[in-house]
Amino acid sequence: MKTLLEIADILKSKNCIYILTHQYPDGDTLGSAYALCRALQLIEKKCKVLCHDPIPSKFCFMNEYVKQEDFDPEYIISTDVADIKLLGEKLLIYSDKINMCIDHHMSNNSYADITFVDAMSAATAEIIYEIIQNMGMPIDEETASCLYVGISTDTGCFKYSNTTAKTHKIAYELINKNINLAKINSELFEKKSKEALSVEYMVYNTLEYFFRGKCAVIKLMQSMLNSAGISDNELEGIASIPRQIDGVKIGITIREKKSNLFKISVRTTEDINAIEICKIFGGGGHPRTGGCNIEGEFEEVKEKLLKTVKNKCGW
C-alpha cells in the first residue's frame, strides 16, 4: 500500500478530479468528499463531488463550501466506498474507472487502481485530514467543518467503540480552526423533527427479542415513512436503537428500501463480528457495524438473518 505522503503527492499531480461518495450517503462519505474537494479547489484544481442520491438536508451546508462546475474527469476518486456496488446505479458508469479509493472499511475489496485503506481510522475523514496535511496545505474553517462532520458522525459523536485518542486529537485541531461546533453538533446530533420522532415511536413498537434477549430486531417500513411524511435518509440514528438495550449482543435493523428489498444494519458487541454475518448476504462493513441488502418478504428476510445469527453465534 502507498504511504499517505505518496497519496498526497499523486493528488497534487492530478487535475479535473471527480470525487464519488457511496449511495444513501452518510456524514463520513460526504464530509470526506467535500473536505478533499475544497482542499483541492484551494490549490486551483478543478474538482467536484458526485453522489447517486440527494444530499440529506443536514449535510447540505457543505455544498456551499465547494464550486460545482462542469468538466470531464481526468482522475476519479472514491471516498468511504468499500465496494463498487455501493456507488449506486447512477455512478456505476464510473465503476471500471476509479483511479483511487480512500477508505477505512476493513471489508474494502480493492476495486480501484490505487486503494488506501486504514481500518484503524474511526472515519475516512481522519485519513483525508492526514492526506491534506501531507499535501502541506493549511486546513481552513470550511475544510475543517467537513472533516468534523465525517469524524463525528461515524463515531456517533465520539461514543462508538471505533473512537480513539487520535480521533479526539484531530477533533481538537479541527475545532481550533474556528468551526461553528455548537451549531454543527446541534444540527447533526440534537435536532430531531416531529416526523422523525413519530417514526422512532413506530419503530420502537416493532421491537422483537430473540435468543433469550441476545438479539433484538426492529423494522422500518416505507409505509411508516409515508405516514409520517419523512424520507429514510433523515433517520440515521434508528440503527443504533436495538443494540443499546441491556443484554442485547446483536441489534438488527431491517429497513424496507422498496417492495421486497430490505437494507439490513447489524450492530454487535465486542465478541461478535458483524462482517461475518453481513458477508453471507454479500455485504460488509466494520467488526461492530455491518450492512447488506436482502431481497424477499419481510418475514422471510428476518428468518434468513436469524438463521445466520444462530449459525455464526452457535445460539
The distance of closest approach from Cβ of residue 97 to a copy of itself in the complex, given in angstroms and rounded to an integer, is 39
The residue within the footprint of a copy of itself, chosen from 159, 257, 307, 310 (CB under 8 A), is 159
**Segment contacting a copy of itself by CB under 8 A, of 27-35, 71-79, 133-141, 150-158:** 150-158
Chain mean position to CA 310: 27
Work out how close the CB of 36 gets to a copy of itself at its nearest, in angstroms, rounded to a whole number.
Answer: 22
The CB-of-20 to a copy of itself minimum distance in angstroms stands at 30
First to last CA, the chain: 39
Q: Residues 177-216: x/- map of binding to a copy of itself (CB under 8 A)?
A: ----xx--xx--xxxxxx--x---x--x------------
Tell me how far, at minimum, the Cβ of 249 lies from a copy of itself, in Å: 12
| Distance from C-alpha of 137 to C-alpha of 296, rounded to nearest angstrom | 49
* Shorter beta-carbon distance to a copy of itself: residue 287 or 308: 287
- Residue 160 near a copy of itself by CB under 8 A: yes
Residue 299 as a binder of a copy of itself (CB under 8 A): the answer is: no
Among residues 111, 158, 211, 315, which is the contact residue for a copy of itself, using CB under 8 A? 158
Q: Are 203 and 219 in contact (CB under 8 A)?
A: yes
Q: Could you give the C-alpha distances from 127 to 16, 26, 35, 38, in angstroms and in order?
A: 22, 16, 11, 15
For residues 57 and 118, what is the distance between their CA atoms, to the nearest angstrom? 29
Residue 168 makes contact with a copy of itself by CB under 8 A: yes
Judged by CB under 8 A, does residue 143 bind a copy of itself?
Answer: no
DSSP string, 283-310: -EE-SSEEEEEEES-HHHHHHHHHHHHH
In terms of CB distance, is 81 or 171 closer to a copy of itself? 171
Q: In this structure, are residues 217 and 208 in contact, taking their beta carbons and an 8 Å threshold?
A: yes
Tell me which residue of 132, 93, 174, 177 sits closest to 11, measured CA to CA. 132
How many residues bind to a copy of itself according to rule CB under 8 A? 36
Cell of 143: 475544510
**CB-based contacts of 173: which residues, under 8 Å, 6+ apart?**
none
Q: Which stretch binds a copy of itself (CB under 8 A): 14-22, 74-82, 159-167, 294-302?
A: 159-167
Largest CA distance in the chain: 59
Stretch that binds a copy of itself, among 20-28, 38-46, 62-70, 164-172 (CB under 8 A): 164-172
Which residues, 6 or more positions from 184, have their beta carbon under 8 angstroms from its beta carbon?
A: 145, 148, 149, 152
Grid cell listed for 72: 470531464
Of 200 and 256, nearer to a copy of itself (C-beta) is: 200
Q: Which is nearer to a copy of itself, 114 or 175 (CB)?
A: 175
How many CB atoms neighbour CB 50 within 10 A?
Answer: 18
Q: Which residues bind a copy of itself (CB under 8 A)?
A: 152, 157-161, 163-166, 168-169, 171-172, 175-176, 181-182, 185-186, 189-194, 197, 201, 204, 240, 243-246, 269-270
